[in-house]
Structure 1
Amino acid sequence: MKRRPVLVTLSVLLAGGAAVAVTLPASAAATGALTGLAGKCVDVAAGGTANGTKVQLWTCNNSAQQRVSVADDRTIRVLGKCLDVTGGVNADGTKVQLWDCFGNANQQWVYNSATKDIVNPATGRCLDAAGQSSADGTPLQIWTCNSQTNQDWVLPGGGGPVTPSPSASGAACNRTVQPGERTMPVSFAGKQYQVAVYVPAGAQPGTRLPLVMNLHGSGGTGSGQLQYSNMKPTADANQFLIVAPSGAIPNASGFAWNVPGVGTAPAGARDDIGFLEQVLTTATSTLCAAPTRVYGAGYSGGGRMTSAFACARPDRLAAIAPVGGLRAGRPNPQNTAQPDPASCNPARPVPVIAFHGQQDTTNPYPGGGSEYWQYSVPVAQARWAAINRCTTGPTTAPVTTHVTRTNYLGCANGADVVLYSISDGGHTWPGTPVSNGNGNTTQEINANTLMWQFFQRFQLPA
């Protein structure tokens, strides 16, 4: 069995002076042939540059379509585009294609000079020549790492010793919080709050992990949201952290969030934008969260708060997933059927995946309802598509008997906007086994699984 040493990132300089990146041996050349099984080269089919072009093995011929660059942002580039795991799908056999470079998780690659494999960290799978074939035209895919020769690669320059350098995920850390559900003290505005957190089973103390901030609905608590959303098994399976803070405005048996621009907060109410920012800052140090892989999710009022936080601090969340609460700013006072564009105008595109039941009577899918709600869920999605400068959509397709998916694609920085609509769904979290008494909870899809598949495609700029 191959021994797996520590992997590191080394900056290199490409032709034209652009600083780019990959995790690679210190002595490797930056640009040239990337060779695999039987000495064949990684090759772009027919030298095409369209998004989705096949990446394959081919007899080496020193053509431009075989001149590969490994980069300091952990991308692998050829013909000005990136090797990309199609759709970010975490499954054996998912094809590797050529796509515009966004640096998202499905375009990240880590090379190990001892094992000679190239791993996509988001999926944990290896770059693989399909079917262990070395024939010209053999497509490249991802597959469970298995130490077979069709997963052996030699970088441009032939490889060499591994040289340590800082991790792209942030400075070294040592997580002292043990796996399981815990609390984390957070100091803000002269007060200390105990925030519910979850560290996945098997988490290594010195490894920075992605983080999902999971916000409760009005009347709930952070610990209650951990139970209701049932996100912990997904965190265990995919090795991400969860922080679940609580609001501070008393509401029923729990708390509500101070969502900017809607309703009337009590005098002296906590600034929850500032508070949540402090939660994320504390989690980066205390929980060893990877600062570029932080995501936001939330239910109902927590979905509204997640939306508002993304509007105000798009530099802190790589993507968001509101459940039963997607908003894009407050209702426009002049026309409440539309959002007020001035109340949500983030400086960078924010990828969005949302879930909403069409039988929701709390935050009605077609709009109306409470003063804070008013405009419809599709209108909220369309506004995010405009913010993200999407060029195609909306396109809607069935997913299951009662679920459809509406996509806006071709967005700036790859920041797609996706909505799952559940025709028989209530004000509920899809896939959770916990009933909240707010209508039907679909089991046809699992929001946690789908949002994580979406999240792992994105990361913040380093």
Structure 2
Amino acid sequence: MTARKPGTALRRAPRATALLATALAALALLGGTPAPAAADRGPVAGSDGCGSAAPHRPGTSATYRTTSGGIERTYQLHLPEGYQPRRPWPVVLAYHGRGSTGTELQGFSGLSALPAVLVYPEGVVGTGEGERQAWQGAPYSAPGVDDVAFTEDLIDRLADRLCLDERRIYATGKSNGGGFTALLACRAADRIAAIAPVAGAFYPTGEECRPSRPVPVIEFHGTADATIPYTGDADRGLPAVPEWTAAWAGRDGCRPRPSVRRIEPDIELSRWSGCAAGTAVAHVAIDGGGHTWPGADAYSGGGHTTQTIEAHQVLWRFVARHRLPVR
């Protein structure tokens, strides 16, 4: 459980002034003004871990182990700079893609720069060629492994040891990990406030998705993704991404037609409004983008990686506005 600094990809140099200005304009389209203080959005009840000493030095990451379903599991935990055990902090759960690791996702995503507790769980080796970690819901995931239950167990463990705002737990992930966030939203909507899949692999699970509440979603996908095609893959049961997002908007009771705006030369933003319970659904299409993480400075997958937006900034601006309803 040795603490270490985040990867070098997180310590990137500032971009040009013009690029920063356009990026901020894009973020404004997603969230308007920044999320108001917690006191303005209903009560904040800190978790049982409030007041406990930080498990390692804020601003660094450490590896921890836990057991769920009789299986030992591993996760990377990053505490933000300025973490204090008397202030409830939001949480971002970040799920790697098939065959990747939490450490790799942390290194290229930029997520650990966010003002939140970041958790990078490790999947269990699944089926198919090679020993490749995967997440529940995909045809190659490990049989009998309940990653939804693992996630809920992990949230409980973290809430006992850290000072968390349990109304602001968000999930993101890439590829298979992104697809898993959708399964979380279907089955654990009472724990996950919003999801942000990137290049998500939305395999059919054989069950109807019926969240216990409307779940806000922002989805990122490259139109030239050769691994999880933007237009879908009938042979693998993968839906066309715009159709998947529109179906989620329907599930959330949004108006059927989104507003569509080009916010960068290669970025088109679709946003559904009028959704139930103040939720929102958005889709970020990257023209010519590959199976990659937008804004990544390190390798994140095959194909072109746009640098006109930073996915971690855009998704945070979206999800940070949403909280679970008061119980």
Same fold (TM > 0.5): yes
**1:350 maps to 2:215:** yes
> Relative to structure 1, is the Cα distance of residues 87 and 446 closer, same or farther in structure 2, using a 3 angstrom cutoff?
closer
Backbone CA RMSD of aligned residues: 2.5
Q: CA deviation at 1:184?
A: 2.8
Query: Structure 1 or 2: larger helix share?
Result: 2
2:196 alignment partner in structure 1: 321
2:308 alignment partner in structure 1: 444
1:273 alignment partner in structure 2: 148
Partners of 1:257 and 1:109 lie apart in 2 by: 33
> Relative to structure 1, is the Cα distance of residues 86 and 448 closer, same or farther in structure 2, using a 3 angstrom cutoff?
closer
| Cα deviations by residue, 1:381-416 (Å, 9 ceiling, x for unpaired) | 011011100025222110100000011111001211
Q: 2:97 is aligned with what amino acid?
A: G
Q: CA deviation at 1:244?
A: 0.7
Q: CA deviation at 1:87?
A: 6.4
Partners of 2:101 and 2:29 lie apart in 1 by: 38
Spell out the pairing of 1:169-318 with structure 2 (5 A cutoff).
Answer: 169-171=46-48, 172-178=50-56, 179=58, 180-233=60-113, 235=114, 239-250=115-126, 252=130, 254-259=132-137, 262-263=138-139, 265-267=141-143, 269-318=144-193
Q: CA deviation at 1:284?
A: 1.6
Q: CA deviation at 1:174?
A: 1.8
Partners of 1:448 and 1:265 lie apart in 2 by: 26
Partners of 1:175 and 1:421 lie apart in 2 by: 42
Partners of 1:87 and 1:265 lie apart in 2 by: 33
Partners of 1:455 and 1:174 lie apart in 2 by: 27
Tell me, yes or no, if the aligned pair for 2:44 and 2:165 is still in contact at 8 Å: no
Tell me which of the two structures has the higher relative contact order, counting C-alpha pairs closer than 8 angstroms and 6 or more residues apart.
Answer: 2
Spell out the pairing of 1:37-52 with structure 2 (5 A cutoff).
Answer: none
Q: TM-score, normalised by structure 2?
A: 0.82
Partners of 1:441 and 1:279 lie apart in 2 by: 32
Tell me, yes or no, if the aligned pair for 1:173 and 1:285 is still in contact at 8 Å: no
* Rg (Cα) greater in structure: 1
1:413 alignment partner in structure 2: 277
1:39 alignment partner in structure 2: none
| Cα deviations by residue, 1:31-56 (Å, 9 ceiling, x for unpaired) | xxxxxxxxxxxxxxxxxxxxxxxxxx
Q: CA deviation at 1:351?
A: 0.1
Out of 293, 298, 321, the position equivalent to 1:429 is 293
SS at match of 1:292: strand
Tell me, yes or no, if the aligned pair for 2:134 and 2:140 is still in contact at 8 Å: no
Tell me, yes or no, if the aligned pair for 1:403 and 1:422 is still in contact at 8 Å: yes
Tell me, yes or no, if the aligned pair for 1:298 and 1:306 is still in contact at 8 Å: yes
1:44 alignment partner in structure 2: none
| Cα deviations by residue, 1:231-250 (Å, 9 ceiling, x for unpaired) | 112x2xxx201111011024
Partners of 1:296 and 1:397 lie apart in 2 by: 25
Q: CA deviation at 1:176?
A: 2.3
Q: TM-score, normalised by structure 1?
A: 0.59
1:168 alignment partner in structure 2: 45
Q: Structure 1: any 5+ residue segments left out of the alignment? A: 1-84, 92-104, 111-119, 122-165, 332-339
Tell me, yes or no, if the aligned pair for 2:249 and 2:256 is still in contact at 8 Å: no
Partners of 1:422 and 1:307 lie apart in 2 by: 20
Q: CA deviation at 1:379?
A: 0.7
> Relative to structure 1, is the Cα distance of residues 439 and 253 closer, same or farther in structure 2, using a 3 angstrom cutoff?
farther
SS at match of 1:354: strand
